[in-house]
Amino acid sequence: MKNVIVLSILLFSAIAFGQIGVNTENPQGILHIDGAKDNPATGIPSTAQQANDVLINSSGNLGIGTTTPSNKVDITKTIPGAVKITDGTQGNNKIFVSDANGTGTWRNTSPAVVIESNAGDLRTVGTTATYLGASATVTIPGYYAISPRFIGDKNPANCSSLVAYNLSTSSTTPTNLVYPVDAHFPGGTSSFDFIYSSSIAYLNTGTYYMLVRRGGGCTTYTSRNNIGQNGFTLVLLK
């Protein structure tokens, strides 16, 4: 009989006021549970009092530690670790990711994607874009930091010549160039020019070839066959 009376009181309260309070006579939403029974009889609970509360408002939002949830699930906690999801895939340093349907699970973090080209060859650099042997294959499309490296030996030592390079999807003709142009005008009395640069561009899957050309200021201009002096690095940006 006692249970029937209690149930009747709860139903009457829900019908009359549209709100149910558990451990509180002052519900702030459709369903309000005061875990520590420390909320005031009137007015809004303090931040400390809300810390042990669970509430569902008229929008269907669930608040944990807050009586004013602004999202479907709104969790407020003053120390790290407000959410714990234990589904068997959890582990140290894992990240929580979702599929196309929004279903989440824990996954290992992906290692950085760094692609090194092979070393270019010792070749004569002409005044038209020429493939010097450095290439790399991209298997994951995305934005990449592109860092070419090039050293050219020139004759005579004090000659000055424009040096330009680009990445192409063809080794014979400039095709689908990665950026408009990366041109440099090294000078001085040295017998070689060195150019290290960096840029960002979107790369589709495929093989990219570094094409290099020079201006007409030098009698001869020759590339080197070293990965640090005739090649490039691609780093996928997260």
Q: What is the pLDDT of residue 110?
A: 80
Q: What is the pLDDT of residue 109?
A: 84
Query: In what order do the strands lie in the sheet containing 130-138?
Result: 130-138, 206-214, 163-168, 182-184
Q: What is the pLDDT of residue 36?
A: 98
**DSSP assigned state of 17:** H
Q: What is the pLDDT of residue 179?
A: 84
Q: What is the pLDDT of residue 17?
A: 56
Residues 73 and 118 occupy one common structural domain:
no
Residues 44 and 143 occupy one common structural domain:
no
Residue 106 in any domain: the answer is no
Residues 77 and 135 occupy one common structural domain:
no
Q: Which amino acid is present at 54?
A: V
Q: CA 49 → CA 27, 33, 76, 93, 138, distances in Å?
A: 13, 11, 12, 33, 55
Examine the fold and report which residue of 33, 68, 83 is the final residue of a domain before the chain moves on. Answer: 83
Residue 95 in any domain: the answer is no
Residue 24 in any domain: the answer is yes
Residues 71 and 163 occupy one common structural domain:
no
Q: What is the pLDDT of residue 188?
A: 66
Q: What is the pLDDT of residue 216?
A: 82
Q: CA 216 → CA 185, 223, 235, distances in Å?
A: 12, 16, 33
Number of domains in the chain: 2
Q: What is the pLDDT of residue 215?
A: 87
Q: What is the mean pLDDT of each run of 10 residues along the chain (238 residues)?
A: 50 63 97 98 97 98 98 95 93 92 91 94 93 96 95 88 91 90 77 90 96 89 93 93
Six-digit token string for 193:
């020019």
How far separated are the first and last CA of the chain, in Å rounded? Answer: 64
Q: What is the pLDDT of residue 25?
A: 96
- Structural domain including 65 reads 1-83
Residues 173 and 63 occupy one common structural domain:
no
